[in-house]
């Protein structure tokens, strides 16, 4: 738990922010007073191919086309609560799951059929959220997708109700579970909180051959925390300052799983595959089973790990995904609860018999070839900075920044297409930040603590301990990395696929909406770059 999270909550206690969006000072629903495990786990429907349209780069070829409408929907999160208003896709939130095959492109038209007015509190003082733009605006980003820039969901390319956007997804990447969500400038936290998110699963022949659990034995687990009013309606808090409604982070009292509060799933005593997504605004999850059985992780953000990794507790930062194999064999007739810390998330009810047909946990999965550091043509040192004093109440409105730059400042990161760079994320704040780069996948090199006092005074990095390699379950391909406070986190990235403008940002949505996001340009190589490159870093370094 970060320092700021501790200040906001002790466990699931009431927030320090008193005012609530839509009902100032209203009491919040206490989930602990609801009966647990009375609602069955919902499984989002899978999008069916309705038609085919011309390939945007090869009109003679037809590819699948989907049309998903963003709409206001009603859904019961718990048996004993009235229906809750959400914004979803078609008739559900989370939206329907899109299934794709690696190397087989498709088109998705995102249609905005939402109301003209937002039902959550907009802070018009944030950049890009002024009263001169529509209150309701959306643009969809395929998180983790290697897509051309015009289909990436650039935050300023939003469209309002009545509009739509057509996205081309090449699916030229390994099997993995991605997710789609709103990315509109300065209101992403509100639109995702309202429910604009869903899963996007890519499959391939390599994964098919591993005999992993599939069909009814593969369960999506989408986690997000929310606050509710006693009447079951969503409640997003605001600050005490009427000029600046933004809050630095959000932590809700209720944890939803696929849109349900305390759901249960009936499972057979056999292996299951759990595809877990942390879709929360700010909350980290620390997942474990009540009976102490281990979690076997076989994949992370961008696909399979080299081999299964056994973990007792799984840490998931916002936007991170985990691919798990859980064996319920041997727990016949038992109820097993998935917890985060000491709080119940959902229950698995294990039956007494299993259908025929067994799946496996292969000892080896997909090889992950390490990118040699010597291939890097540049090392960039990029700072993560925040308010000068978190104990100062006036600091609540001060944004955190990437590389000490605002969104509107000139672009400072411009990697060349098909080159490798090392990015050193120097975290000068008290928070852990999940940093996400659009377009690319990367590998974590290491994390290393440094002397923050020296950096603040002399702008120099002096390491205070040896570098720590990533945990085994982080040793695959990633698109979101946890950058811890007082630590330099190094990642190595190959910028491949497309040239153009993308973004990188903190995936704590409150941070992202208030300046902790930057554009970056992937540029095509010039003749001089073909002849050689200059290697270097952006700050002084003091060795051990």
Q: Which residues contact 543 (CB under 8 A, 6 or more apart)?
A: 463
Residues 200 and 238 in one domain: no
Q: How far apart are CA 321 and CA 540, in angstroms?
A: 35
Cα angle for residues 418, 150, 137 (degrees, 5° grid) = 140
Residues 538 and 392 in one domain: yes
Q: Which residues contact 101 (CB under 8 A, 6 or more apart)?
A: 171, 202, 203, 204
Is 361 part of any domain?
Answer: no
Residues 126 and 273 in one domain: no
DSSP conformational letter for 28: P
DSSP conformational letter for 220: E
- Residue 224's domain spans which residues? 215-350
Domain end among 317, 350, 383: 350
Residues 42 and 167 in one domain: yes
Is 26 part of any domain?
Answer: yes
Alpha helices (H) along 188-245? 188-194, 205-208
Sign of CA dihedral 413, 416, 417, 421: negative
Domain total of the chain:
3
Residues 410 and 428 in one domain: yes
Q: Residue 392 has what pLDDT? A: 56
Q: Residue 388 has what pLDDT? A: 61
Residues 247 and 124 in one domain: no
Low pLDDT (below 50) residues in the chain: 1-24, 530-544
Is 362 part of any domain?
Answer: no
Residues 170 and 283 in one domain: no
Residues 154 and 284 in one domain: no
CATH of the domain at 262: 2.60.40.420
Is 358 part of any domain?
Answer: no
Q: Residue 401 has what pLDDT? A: 97
Q: Are strands 487-495 and 419-427 parallel, antiparallel or unpaired?
A: antiparallel
Q: Residue 359 has what pLDDT? A: 79
Q: Residue 529 has what pLDDT? A: 55
Is 255 part of any domain?
Answer: yes
Do residues 411 and 455 touch, judged by C-beta distance below 8 A?
no
Q: Residue 65 has what pLDDT? A: 97
Residues 410 and 380 in one domain: yes
């Amino acid at each position: 738990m970060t320092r700021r999270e501790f200040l906001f909550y002790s466990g699931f206690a009431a927030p320090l922010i008193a005012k609530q969006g839509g009902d100032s000072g209203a009491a919040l629903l206490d989930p602990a007073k609801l009966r647990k495990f009375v609602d069955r786990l919902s499984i989002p429907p899978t999008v069916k191919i309705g038609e085919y349209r011309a390939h945007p780069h090869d009109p003679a070829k037809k590819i699948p086309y989907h049309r998903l409408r963003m709409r206001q929907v009603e859904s019961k999160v718990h048996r004993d609560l009235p229906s809750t208003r959400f914004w979803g896709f078609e008739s559900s939130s989370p939206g329907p799951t899109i299934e794709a095959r690696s190397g087989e492109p498709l088109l998705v038209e995102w249609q905005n059929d939402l109301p003209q007015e937002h039902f959550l509190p907009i802070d018009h003082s944030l950049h890009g959220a002024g009263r001169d733009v529509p209150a309701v605006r959306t643009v969809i980003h395929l998180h983790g997708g290697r897509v051309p820039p015009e289909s990436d969901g650039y935050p300023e390319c939003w469209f309002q109700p009545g509009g739509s956007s057509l996205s081309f997804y090449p699916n030229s990447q390994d099997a993995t579970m991605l997710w789609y969500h709103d990315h509109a400038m300065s209101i992403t936290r509100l639109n995702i909180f309202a429910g604009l998110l869903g899963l996007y699963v890519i499959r391939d022949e390599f994964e098919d051959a591993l005999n992993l659990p599939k069909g009814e034995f593969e369960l999506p687990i989408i986690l997000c925390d929310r606050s509710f009013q006693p009447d079951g309606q969503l409640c997003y808090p605001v600050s005490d300052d009427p000029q600046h409604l933004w809050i630095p982070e959000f932590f809700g009292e209720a944890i939803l799983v696929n849109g349900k509060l305390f759901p249960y799933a009936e499972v057979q005593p056999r292996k299951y595959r759990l595809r877990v997504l942390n879709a929360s605004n700010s909350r980290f999850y620390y997942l474990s089973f009540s009976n102490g059985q281990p979690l076997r992780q076989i994949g992370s953000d961008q696909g399979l790990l080299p081999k299964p990794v056994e973990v007792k507790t799984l840490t998931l930062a916002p936007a991170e995904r985990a691919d798990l194999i859980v064996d319920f064999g041997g727990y016949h007739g038992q109820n097993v609860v998935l917890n985060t810390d000491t709080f119940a998330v959902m229950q698995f009810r294990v039956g007494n018999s299993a259908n025929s047909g067994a799946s496996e946990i292969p000892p080896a999965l997909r090889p992950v070839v390490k990118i040699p550091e010597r291939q890097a043509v540049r090392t960039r040192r990029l700072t993560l900075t925040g308010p000068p004093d978190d104990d100062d109440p006036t600091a609540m409105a001060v944004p955190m920044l990437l590389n000490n730059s605002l969104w509107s400042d000139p672009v400072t990161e411009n990697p060349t297409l098909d080159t490798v760079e090392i990015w050193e994320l120097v975290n000068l704040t008290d928070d852990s930040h999940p940093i996400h780069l659009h377009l690319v996948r990367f590998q974590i090199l290491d994390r290393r603590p440094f002397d923050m006092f020296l950096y603040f005074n002399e702008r120099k990095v002096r390491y205070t301990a040896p570098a720590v390699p990533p945990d085994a379950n982080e040793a695959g391909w990633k698109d979101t990395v946890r950058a811890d406070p007082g630590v330099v986190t190094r990642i190595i990235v190959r910028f491949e696929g497309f040239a153009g403008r993308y973004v990188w940002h903190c995936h704590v949505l409150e941070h992202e909406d208030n300046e902790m996001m930057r554009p970056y340009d992937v540029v095509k190589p010039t003749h001089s770059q073909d002849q050689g490159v200059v290697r270097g870093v952006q700050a002084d370094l003091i060795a051990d």
